[in-house]
Structure 1
Amino acid sequence: MKKALRKYWSTIALAVIAILFFIPQTSMPLKVLYSELFAFCPSEIDEDEQIVLSNYNWNLIAEDNAINLKQSKGKVTLINMWATWCPPCVAEMPSLQSVFDSYGDQVDFYFVTAEEREVVDAFMKKKGYTMPVYLQRFSPPAQLEGRSIPTTFLIGKDGKIVIKKTGAADWNSESTRAIIQQLLAAE
């Protein structure tokens, strides 16, 4: 009897969780939580497999003015492609904010989205994020194209893409910080 009752309640609990995934008010927080639970620190690409970003020509919109990624050539750069409606994107934002808080004056950060400025600004204000958000109106260079979000690139001063991570990650890990420190120290 106990076994049957336990199976019954387990089935009910799974059904309730499944239903909550389809209710808009509960769906996003549950998906973000799931993404946070399975977000691991990104790993460095093997040196012999690292590609060099050869074309930095990418126009982005910051606030009301245009900028070009060319300004980051020769600098350590982190580029994150994301959206406010993407649970894995939202899940990794706190760790990205922490890295930005630590390295914002040493690393060029680009948080790139194709959403409307009003939507993005409201999201950033609500969450208290201060990272620089750029709107994408043009295709990125070929080496930065991806089919999924979030996708994040960490690029060294020499233009080598040392990390390319698709999906949520813990960017505030000791290993990621060590990689950033190593890139900053490189000549």
Structure 2
Amino acid sequence: MQKTSPFFDERPDDIDISLLVIHNMSLPPGEFGGDDIEALFTGTLDENKHPFFKQIAHLKVSAHCVIRRNGTVEQYVPFSKRAWHAGVSAFQGRSRCNDYAIGIELEGTDTAPFTAAQYTSLASLTHDILSHYPAITLGRIVGHSDIAFGRKTDPGEAFNWCQYRQSISLGKIK
């Protein structure tokens, strides 16, 4: 499902897309469903709807895609464009991960198990991304915590990296 975020720009001309970053998000924190993630990514979040929103309503953030609890994939930014998902970040000594990364948000938290539908959709989406961006290898699929060490913790302890990596490395969607 295509949605449109205003929070993106052009990637630098000489950049190969070579990193996939897995995130998690729930709005309000710990709550699933609703349209608050979409509102944040489209700049329409009502700061009066929840006390936490006063802290974040001014942010200009986006991800390329969000995978909802039921497995629905919503795309906010074309993969060829630079989404604003990683913030201050570095991977293997190279900073500004937004320049060369694709960011996928899973609707969830660090501690709540993700759904089977989310893993299925994530594996399918990953296969599509890998087929179009060969510089993204298994070793270049990371969590937000891996590129923003000490600042971010997502996708968190509940994310089953083993299951996810097996599903993409074996070419199977589990």
TM-score (norm 2): 0.30
Report which of the two structures shows the higher radius of gyration computed on alpha carbons. 1
TM-score normalized with structure 1 length: 0.28
